[in-house]
Amino acid sequence: MQLPVSFTERMQRLLGLQEYQQFLNALQQTPPVSIRVNKAKATAAAGLAAVPWAAAGRYLPVRPSFTLDPAIHAGAYYVQEASSMFVEQALRQAVNLEQPLQVLDLCGAPGGKSTHLASLISEDSLLVSNEVIRSRASILAENVAKWGSGNVLVTSNDPRDFGRLPDFFDVMVVDAPCSGEGMFRKDPQAVQEWSEENVKLCAQRQQRILMDVWDALKPGGLLVYSTCTWNEQENEENVAWLSEQEGVESIRLELQPEWGVVPTQLGGVEGYRFYPHRVQGEGFFMAVVRKAGEEAAISHGKSKKKKYKLTPAGKKEKALVENWLLEPEHYTFLQYGEVITALPAYLFEAADEVYQHLYVVYAGTELAEVKGKKLKPLQGLALSQQLNKAAFQVAELDLEQALRYLRKEDISLGTNGNDWLLLQYKGLPLGWAKQIGSRVNNYYPKEWRIRMDLPQELPETTVLAS
Ligand SMILES: C[S@@+](CC[C@H](N)C(=O)[O-])C[C@H]1O[C@@H](n2cnc3c(N)ncnc32)[C@H](O)[C@@H]1O
Boundary (domain end) residue, out of 356, 375, 391: 391
Q: Is 7 inside a domain boundary?
A: no
Say whether both 396 and 382 belong to one domain.
no
Say whether both 408 and 325 belong to one domain.
no
ipTM for the predicted complex: 0.99
Say whether both 100 and 245 belong to one domain.
yes
Tell me which residue of 74, 80, 70 sits closest to 34, measured CA to CA: 80
**Cβ–Cβ < 8 Å for 435, 418:** yes
CA of 227 to the centre of ligand 1 (A): 10
Say whether both 261 and 341 belong to one domain.
no
**Ligand 1 pocket, 159 CB below 6 A?**
yes
Q: Which ligand 1 atom sits nearest the alpha carbon of residue 133?
A: 25
Say whether both 238 and 343 belong to one domain.
no
- Per-residue confidence (pLDDT) for residue 298, from 0 to 100: 57
The DSSP element (H or E) to which 36 belongs, if any, is: strand 33-37
Say whether both 227 and 240 belong to one domain.
yes
Write the CATH number for 356: 3.10.450.720
Q: Is the dihedral of CA 407, 40, 288, 259 positive or negative?
A: negative
What domain count does the chain have?
A: 3
CA of 240 to the centre of ligand 1 (A): 21
Pocket test for ligand 1, best of 84, 132, 139, 143 (most atoms within 8 A of CB): 132
DSSP helix/strand/coil, 133: coil
Q: Which of 107, 178, 202, 228 is catalytic?
A: 228
Domain that residue 166 falls in: 83-290
Q: Is 455 inside a domain boundary?
A: no
Q: Is 378 inside a domain boundary?
A: yes
Q: Is 67 inside a domain boundary?
A: no
CA 273, 275, 280: angle at the middle one, nearest 5? 115
Taking the whole predicted model, whether its pTM rises above 0.95 is answered as yes
**Ligand 1 pocket, 132 CB below 6 A?**
yes
Say whether both 187 and 273 belong to one domain.
yes
Q: Is 29 inside a domain boundary?
A: no
Q: Is 409 inside a domain boundary?
A: yes
Say whether both 194 and 87 belong to one domain.
yes
Q: Is 89 inside a domain boundary?
A: yes
**Ligand 1 pocket, 133 CB below 6 A?**
yes
Residue-wise pLDDT tens digits, 67-90: 999 999 999 999 999 999 999 999
Q: Cβ-count burial of 63 within 10 angstroms (0-12 exposed, 13-18 middle, 19+ buried)?
A: exposed
Say whether both 115 and 194 belong to one domain.
yes
Residue-wise pLDDT tens digits, 330-384: 999 999 999 999 999 999 999 999 999 999 999 999 999 998 888 999 999 999 9
Question: Phi and psi for 352 in degrees, rounded to 5?
Answer: -60, -40
Say whether both 252 and 196 belong to one domain.
yes
Q: Return binding residues for S-adenosyl-L-methionine.
A: 131, 158, 175
Residue 154 CA neighbour count, 13 Å, CB half: 31
Residue 227 CA neighbour count, 13 Å, CB half: 27
Say whether both 283 and 319 belong to one domain.
no
**Ligand 1 pocket, 282 CB below 6 A?**
no
Tell me which residue of 209, 149, 146 sits closest to 177, measured CA to CA: 209
228 flagged as catalytic: yes
Boundary (domain end) residue, out of 352, 370, 391: 391
Say whether both 444 and 328 belong to one domain.
no
- Per-residue confidence (pLDDT) for residue 373, from 0 to 100: 84
Tell me which residue of 304, 429, 445 sits closest to 42, measured CA to CA: 429
Q: Return binding residues.
A: 131, 158, 175
**Cβ–Cβ < 8 Å for 359, 128:** no
Nearest CA to ligand 1 atom 13: 107
The residues, ordered by sequence, that sit 6+ positions from 417 with a Cβ below 8 Å of its Cβ are: 393, 435, 437
**Ligand 1 pocket, 211 CB below 6 A?**
no
- Per-residue confidence (pLDDT) for residue 466, from 0 to 100: 82
Residue-wise pLDDT tens digits, 401-436: 999 999 999 998 988 889 999 999 999 999 999 999
Residue 84 CA neighbour count, 13 Å, CB half: 28
Write the CATH number for 424: 2.30.130.60
Mean pLDDT of 200-219: 98
Measured distance CA(64)–CA(74) in Å, rounded: 16
